[in-house]
Each structure stands twice: as structure tokens, then as C-alpha cells.
Structure 1
Amino acid sequence: MSQPLPRRCMRDQIRDRLLECILEGTYAPGHRFVELDLAAEFQVSQSPVREALRELEVMGAVESLRYKGTRVRSPNPVEMAEAYVLRAILEQRSAELAVPCPPAVLDSLRADLASLHESAQDRDVTRYSRHALNFHRSIVVQSGNHLFLEVWENVQTRARLPFVAQHLSAELSSCAADHDAILAALEKGEGALAGRLLRAFMESLLAKLPR
């Protein structure tokens, strides 16, 4: 018989799963989390659920309001703008460090890029957001800088990609096309060029954010 997972592991798994759903837009701003329901869903006691929600609050993904419970935070324009400024810097340097990219990483990027184009054509904001996150995260992971990745992942709660993608739903095909040149540069081992393109893309999103 396998041993039960330690409570810390369960807390981390619950936090990561809830954060994934928030970032993908499965849980929209204002969605209320009920500890009892989550405990039943994950088949755990309320303690790891409560701890996971507290961590998400520290990360800025949820907020706890008196008499209203814990809810997904609404996008904050100032935080979003700051998040995209930081992403621009992090991803530029990550691309510079990412080359040469192993074939497996390039294959993964190609697959995500293909899905970006397909979901943009279908105006599928949820799918687009998922593969956009995968594409950019893969580059940060390939940088080999673990602190970059930690900061980048924390920034995503403020960047609110699904909200931005919805705001730019008419421009998703153009946004997906911007990634073609980024991948081409990485395929050629031109990390500095890929970095400049990534930064330019992030700054273009920054200019289009809702105020």
C-alpha cells in the first residue's frame, strides 16, 4: 500500500492546480472558492486547502474578504503593467541564455506555436493562453536560471494572460505570428535576436493593456 502524501505535498499540488486554472481562465475573476467543496474535490481535509489558498493570496491570485470568502482577484491595471515590464526583461535574458536549444525543446516550442496559430484562428482564448504560457515558460526554463523561473511564475498571477488575450481576441493571429520570428531565431541559435524580439513583443502587449 502506498503511503499518503505529506500534507505539504498536498498543499503544493492543490495550490498549483488552482493557480493553473486561474491562469487559464477556468476560474474567472470573482469566482468564490469554498473550502469544503475543494476538500471534497481533492479528497483531503480542509487544512491543506486553506494553506493553498493562503499561498495564492500572498501571490496575488486570490483575495479573502470578510463575509465574502476567498475569491479570484480581478485584474489590477497597475500590477498587470508592472508584470509585463518584468516579463520583458526576464524573457529577453532567458532567450539569450537558452541557446543552443536542444532538439526536444525546439520540438516542444514548434508544437506550442502550431497550437497558438490554430487557437488564434478559432478565437479560442483559453487554449491560446495555455500554449502561450507553455511557449514562454519553456524559454525561461531553458535559460537554466532557477530564480528567473521562480520570479516568472509568480509574475503570471499579475500578468493575467487570459484576460489580456480576451481583450486582444481580434489580434490573436497577429500575436501568434509574432512568435514565428522568435522561434526562428532560437532555431538558428541567435539568442540575442530572440531576446530582442521577445522584449519587443512584451512591450507591444504592454502598450495594448486595458487601462
Structure 2
Amino acid sequence: MLDRTVLRDRIKDLIIERILDGTYGPGDRIREMALATELGTSQAPIREAMRDLEAMRFIESVPYKGARVRMVTTAELAETYPVRATLEELAGTMAATHVDPDLLAGLQAELDAMRRCAQAGELHEQLAHDARFHELIVEAAHNSVLLDAWRGLRIEARTLVTVIKSDADLVSIAETHQVILDAVRAGDPAALGRELRGHIEMFAARLFAHAETGAGSES
């Protein structure tokens, strides 16, 4: 039997995937009972997943009407990137003084996993390793306030939305992490902070470029 937290996360991922592929459109109601029946589970983990999704602003609760899908706009998504870039730059400058073999091994393992998932086209799995790669660096900063703020951005889910909206190449995404790992090995605080900020800003630029191209093609 799956751990309740794991089950909740799987349900959450499933709902996000359905929102992004159009199975659940903006304004559609997500019915807890129907999902519980479909997945063969109780309503408790469904309800927990829905609370997480509401906090992430993928859905909204409407009085007397239940939970409905929100439109996730490019503009709204883009608001997180300057915040994330600032947090990760700070984390990098702090983590560079705490580099040890365990951190390097952990980062290499996550990068290797990203590469395997990219080759196999396993989007969700790759982005889980992507998020963990960055989380390891933030953890290495040894600042709980910084870590809580970073985790509050729901990095994995927002990265997933960005990748799908920008139609980014999974292999190229994985490879962008090599320069970050090289900077960690070098142990230079300014360089690591700069690489992390540049990495996040690159993602934001891809998102905007794709949005502008899409808008132009529709005009």
C-alpha cells in the first residue's frame, strides 16, 4: 500500500497533468468522489492533493460549487522567476562555502538521472530530479528561512508548467545543469550565484519568447 504522502503527491501530479493536457479545462469542476472512485482510494488523499493545488493556484474553491480549474497564465507564472532567481543566487553564494563530497555526489546523481529521463522522454520524473538538484544546493546554504521560502514557490510544479508552455527540449534542459555543477565544484560563491541566477533567467526568457511567438502566430 502506498504511503499517504506519496499517494497525495501522485494524485496531485495526475491532476496537474490533466490540467496541462486539457483534460480539465479552465472553469471545469474537479469532483473528489469521481476521482476517488476512478483511482480506487478514499477521498482523504484527494482532498489533501486539492488543498495543495489550491495553494499552488492551479485550482480555486468556489462556495457551493466545489473546486474548479484556474487558468494558469504566462504572466502569473513569470512572476515567480525574479523571486526564484534572487533566492537561488543567494543560496549559491552561501552554499559554495559548504561544498563537500556528499553534495557533489548528490548533484551528480540527480544530473545523471535527469539525463536518463530526458533520453526516455520521462518529463515528470526528469523535473522531479531537476527540482531536487536545485533543492540540494539550497539545503547546502544551511539557512532554514531561505529553504522555506524556496520550497514555498512549488518549484517542480511551476517548472513543469513552464516546460510544457515553452515546449522546451528535455535533453537541453538537463545539460544546462552541468555548468552549475562545475561552479559548485569550483567553490566560488560569486560564480555559483551567478550561474544559478543565469539558469533561472534563461528559463524565464524561454517562457516569454514562446509566449510572444504564440501571440504573434495568432494575430
TM-score (norm 1): 0.75
> Partners in 1 of 2:53 and 2:34 — Cα distance?
17
**Cα offsets for 1:145-200 (capped at 9, x unmatched):** 21222221221269621122234445332222221111011112123211101111
1:113 counterpart residue number: 111
In 1, Cα distance between the equivalents of 2:19 and 2:124?
11
Quick check: 1:14–1:52 contact (8 Å CA) kept in 2?
Answer: no
Report the counterpart of residue 34 of structure 1 in structure 2.
31
Question: After the TM superposition, which residues 1-211 of structure 1 pair with which residues of structure 2 at under 5 Å, given as runs?
Answer: 13=5, 17=9, 21=13, 25-29=16-20, 30=24, 33-36=30-33, 46=44, 50=47, 53-54=50-51, 56-65=53-62, 69-99=66-96, 100-156=98-154, 160-209=158-207, 210-211=210-211
Q: Secondary structure at the match of 2:60?
A: strand
For these two proteins, the number of residue pairs brought into alignment is 198
Q: What percent identity do the matched residue pairs reach? A: 32
Q: Which runs of 5+ in 1 are unaligned?
A: 1-9
TM-score (norm 2): 0.72
**CA RMSD between the two structures:** 3.3
Cα distance in 1, alignment partners of residues 75 and 31 from structure 2? 29
Kindly tell me: are residues 187 and 16 of structure 1, through their superposed partners in 2, closer, same or farther at Cα, counting changes over 3 Å? farther
Q: RCO (CA 8 Å, sep 6+): is it higher in 1 or 2?
A: 1
Greater shift in the superposed pair: 158-167 or 29-38 = 29-38
Supply the distance in 2 between the matched residues of 1:177 and 1:96 (Cα, whole angstroms): 22
SS in 2 for 1:144: coil
User: What secondary structure is seen at the aligned counterpart in 1 of 2:169?
Assistant: helix
